[in-house]
Structure 1
């Protein structure tokens, strides 16, 4: 049979336990890690998404596309069907759109990217496709008012012969439909409808 511990032994164990706890509590606390400096911040300061990104986020999803191209001679518009997948990228700062169309001439694809600058209230977009090896640039001229995106054709450098154009994009039917229209602007300032895209949101 084991003998019960004496009161003196129990007190000794209690003292050791208290000394160990005191030693642990007196250990110096580790300092919080110092955040690393971003040397790029001085040249290219970070910016957070704004109201324009909230509007663009409503375009995210899979869409069925009905495309109409209006000939310059005023003939019947040519209709084409396609699909589009849209998603926000780079921390919710840009909307990327991937289009695919099936036509008599075969399949064609296109990629659009549009962003919003909270500091200026303006949108900027780029477009590339499988038809040409050129890039298209557009930028808004007036601050975003929350209802539509209106962009005008832009060029890198001074090209007086560049074609003038405008696009207007609206969100309709409680976010279930996007209507995108592209206009050509003549030398007299008159606008002619060139193309219309009607995107209908697909169920998940």
Structure 2
């Protein structure tokens, strides 16, 4: 069913492109720009290296005076939409309950920024992130301005993702307040073999 739907969508796009090219304002230059925007680039190629199945070990710092809460789970990542976006699904227990999180990560060529959304089973909000990368995209830093569900006040979160090698990644989460980063958690990813 999924392959049939993808084929049908692809066929519709292929049929629509020639018709759109004839639309007023859609000249060869505009078509070339559109083609460029829909073609994966180096940032997307880096994200594709993360596709696969992973075990995850999470450390969450709920109270600075107490040891971190540690859990183990799994993550599945796959590229979508012609290799432009990486979708992640994580399953792990959290505070004695099942927890599920979903993220979509991309590189917006128009903004020249890494972008992401995140949502999980512990809240009804969707977090939006933007950021950049260093070290040939070996490290991606994303920032989200959101409303803290505990305080109902504006807050900021930063995630620093590092891929140390083909089989290991780390996500570090920070609360950002008054120009200071406070670590909230760390997730260690190991690729399943």
Class of the TM-score when normalised by the shorter of the 2 chains: 0.7 to 0.9
1:126-137 aligned at under 5 Å gives the runs: 126-137=117-128
Q: Is the 8 A contact 2:75 2:91 kept in 1?
A: yes
Q: Does 1:192 align with 2:182?
A: yes
Residue 163 of structure 1 pairs with residue 155 of structure 2: yes
Q: Distance in 2 between matches of 1:154 and 1:103?
A: 24
Bigger radius of gyration among the two: 1
Give a deviation string over 1:66-113, Cα, whole Å, max 9, x none: 001012433110001100000000000000001001245221101000
Q: Distance in 2 between matches of 1:120 and 1:198?
A: 29
C-alpha change, 1:155 and 1:103, in structure 2 (3 Å) is closer
Find the counterpart in structure 2 of residue 101 from structure 1. 92
* Aligned equivalents of 2:114, 2:91: Cα separation in 1: 24
Query: Is the contact made by 1:121 and 1:143 (CA closer than 8 Å) also made in structure 2?
Result: no
Task: Please say if 1:154 is aligned against 2:181.
Answer: no
Q: CA RMSD in A?
A: 2.6
Kindly provide the CA deviation profile for residues 3-33 of structure 1, in whole angstroms up to 9, marking residues without a partner as x: xxxxxxxxxxxxxxxxxxxxxxxxxxxxxxx
Give the number of the structure whose residues are more often strand, by fraction: 2
User: How far apart in 2 are the matches of 1:41 and 1:97?
Assistant: 37
Matches within 5 A, 1:1-204: 36-38=18-20, 42=26, 45-46=34-35, 47=37, 48-140=39-131, 142=132, 145-146=135-136, 147-155=138-146, 161-172=153-164, 174-187=165-178, 189-203=179-193
**TM-score between the two structures when normalised by the length of structure 1:** 0.72
In the alignment, the residues of structure 2 paired with residue 150 and residue 104 of structure 1 have an alpha-carbon distance, to the nearest angstrom, of 27
What are the ranges of 5 or more consecutive residues in structure 1 without an aligned counterpart?
1-34
Contact 1:81 1:101 in 2 (8 A): yes
Quick check: 61-70 or 118-127, which moved more? 118-127
1:37 match: secondary structure: helix
Equivalent residues, number: 163
Does the Cα contact within 8 Å between 2:133 and 2:139 map onto a contact in 1?
A: no
Please report how far the alpha carbon of residue 120 of structure 1 lies from its aligned counterpart in structure 2 after TM superposition: 3.8
- The Cα of 1:121 is off from its aligned counterpart by 2.9
